[in-house]
Amino acid sequence: MNKLYKYFFLGLVALPLAGFTGGVVSSEKAYAATKSPKKGSSANFYGRLWVQYDNSDASTSNNENVASIRDNEGMGRFGVKGKSSIGNGYAVNYKVEYAIDINDGTSSSDSSSSCNNARDCRTFSLKQGWLGVLTPFGQFKVGSMESPYKYMAKHDILHDTISQARDTRMISQGSMSHSSYWRESIYYELKSGDFKFAAIYGLGEAVNTVSQDDFGFGIEYKNFFIPGFDVVYARNKDDSVTEAGTAGDQDYNEKFTLTKTFKLEGKRKVKVWYMHEDVGLDSKLFTGGNADGEVDWYGIQYKSGPMTLQYSYGESDASEGPTFDRDGYNIGMQYKLSKTSRVYIGRSSSEAGSGDGSNYNIKSYMIGLRHDF
């Protein structure tokens, strides 16, 4: 299977590069944003307010059967973004974005509720903060940002809610996969047509979850030979973990995602996806002495007008043994009340094997209201 991924990855890279032969490789998005001969700058303030009632049950957790109104996943946020055109296809751009919870007043999760140090129970938590340069040869960023592994092929409409797939341990979480952000990092992105390549490199100190020499990249190709068929390959490597080390048998996480969107009559759409992960850096998903294994995630979404319905199912194969395997599902709906407001309903459940002594079955349901501005 690993050889198949390797050959497919090489094909993804070779195909678009062949199309670039004879000309300069350029970022269409970056050039279009800066091709105007007029110099100037812009700044846009934006935000998202989020309230959610949820009930969660983790069988071995001290928070068993917790019901509350909260936003511990960081859905609510506000920020400012903009750019300043330099001319000749160049511009300086930026984004600063913070999480905020208008329910309990703290942007941190329940695990930090004791406020034992200055980093716990903060009113605001930095989500993204970076300063970058747009060029005809791609985009560069420096600061705190999402890794390509996190944002490429992010299909879950329940993302950043209590019923999301990553919290139910259906897929990976953590700074090396589908959670958190990379701090003190540099980032490069190149886009040409339906092809996108992005890479991120950590330069941080040991106090951060991402440290010096950590590296990640992602490749996305939309409409790959077939309209509506998208392919993503991504990988994150933790330089502090050695092969066959205490945190797992490998020092990387790797994912491969196939997505197909079908357009129906009346502007209705059906989207189906399959994702395979080779995980070596997630001690929450795979417990025991070996934080290593593989995950398969299947999903379907149906969109009609303002309503989107979703069902997804995930199953894992732990290297520690079959008693550490887990499988589960989430099901939910998103309904747009207006262009800026929507309501969410979600339900998730997953079951762990008998060897998973620290994280048994997980169940949750929620209803949430979101407003963007």
Handedness of CA 152, 158, 162, 168 (dihedral sign): negative
Backbone angles phi, psi at 30, to 5 degrees: -65, -45
Nearest to 145 by CA among 85, 205, 76, 198: 198
Regions in the chain scoring below 50 on pLDDT: 17-37, 61-63, 112-114, 118, 245-248
Rounded Cα distance between 19 and 61, Å, is: 53
Structure tokens at 284: 């929450």
Nearest to 330 by CA among 356, 282, 365: 365
* Residue 44 and residue 102 in contact, taking contact as beta carbons nearer than 8 Å: no
Structure tokens at 255: 């994912």
- Residue 132 CB coordination number (10 Å): 22
Half-sphere exposure of 308 (CA within 13 A, CB side): 18
Rounded Cα distance between 250 and 245, Å, is: 7
* Residue 230 and residue 239 in contact, taking contact as beta carbons nearer than 8 Å: no
Domain boundaries, the chain: 2-113+126-372
Q: What is the CA radius of gyration of the chain?
A: 21
At residue 28, the pLDDT reads 46
Rounded Cα distance between 139 and 90, Å, is: 10
pTM of the model: 0.83
Assigned fold of 2-113+126-372: Porin (2.40.160)
Rounded Cα distance between 142 and 200, Å, is: 10
DSSP assignment of 252-313: EEEEEEEEEEEE-GGG-EEEEEEEEEEESS-TTTS-SS---EEEEEEEEEEEETTEEEEEEE
Nearest to 364 by CA among 327, 315, 326, 330: 330
Contacts of 34 (CB under 8 A, 6+ apart): 83, 85, 86, 87, 88, 89, 90, 91, 134
